Amino acid sequence: MHELLATFIFFFAVIDPIGTVPVFIAVTRADDEKFKRKVALKAVGVSALVLLFFVVAGEQLLNAIEIPLAAFQIAGGIILLLFALSMIFGESKPETEIKSVRDSTETAIFPLAIPSIASPGAMLGAVLMTRNEEFTWVEQLVTSSMMLAVLCVVLVLLLLATQVHKLIGDSGASIISRIMGLVLTSVAVTNILSGVAQYFGLQVYG
């Protein structure tokens, strides 16, 4: 149960459902409720397909170009750390992505599905949390289900976006995004340390 909760919190941090709400409101401000529902469903559906692709094929792509998983774990941890630090010290996720709305034509895909929901951190997380050498297919299936559960939370929040935004406001979304960045920082450092340990372990015993 503890591991399930930890996995759920990890994906909640990298996907940041609450931070997506202001972005969704900005891109659908002039649209009716029917169109908003269509955009929400399409954005979450595309995000699920993208993240599941990384779960299934991410590690195979690394093997095809002969990149050790430990090296990817270190690199991914560093990128995840930078992503998390930008959430804490830079512009928050909603502020950054709302700026990209002006140039967006297909709002369900950009900036909603990518990079707001299926963020670079989420893509990296999908690979790192389903490593074949460390996790069985059952564990990978459970991890994927936790990821999809977070996406269901995203969908619910988008369908209730107006009410959620009235409750927390832009400042509330920004604060929550920064807290998620702090959680993500800890996850990123753990991945870096684990990757370093695995890499040097392979060097010693390989």
Q: What pLDDT, in 10s, does the model give residues 61-84?
A: 877 888 777 787 788 778 778 877
**129, 123 Cβ separation under 8 angstroms:** no
pLDDT score at 181: 78
pLDDT score at 75: 82
Q: How many CB atoms lie within 10 A of CB 64?
A: 9
**48, 108 Cβ separation under 8 angstroms:** no
Low-confidence ranges of the chain (pLDDT < 50): 102-105, 203-206
User: What distance in Å separates the CA atoms of residue 17 and residue 75, rounded to the nearest whole number?
Assistant: 25
3-state helix, strand, coil in the chain (%, to 5): 85, 0, 15
pLDDT score at 105: 43
The structure tokens listed for 186 are 């800890």
DSSP letter assigned to residue 52: H
Q: Where are the domains of the chain?
A: 2-205
- Say what the pTM is: 0.74
User: What distance in Å separates the CA atoms of residue 136 and residue 36, rounded to the nearest whole number?
Assistant: 39
**176, 88 Cβ separation under 8 angstroms:** no
User: What distance in Å separates the CA atoms of residue 71 and residue 69, rounded to the nearest whole number?
Assistant: 5
pLDDT score at 206: 44
pLDDT score at 176: 77
DSSP letter assigned to residue 65: T
The structure tokens listed for 189 are 């450092």
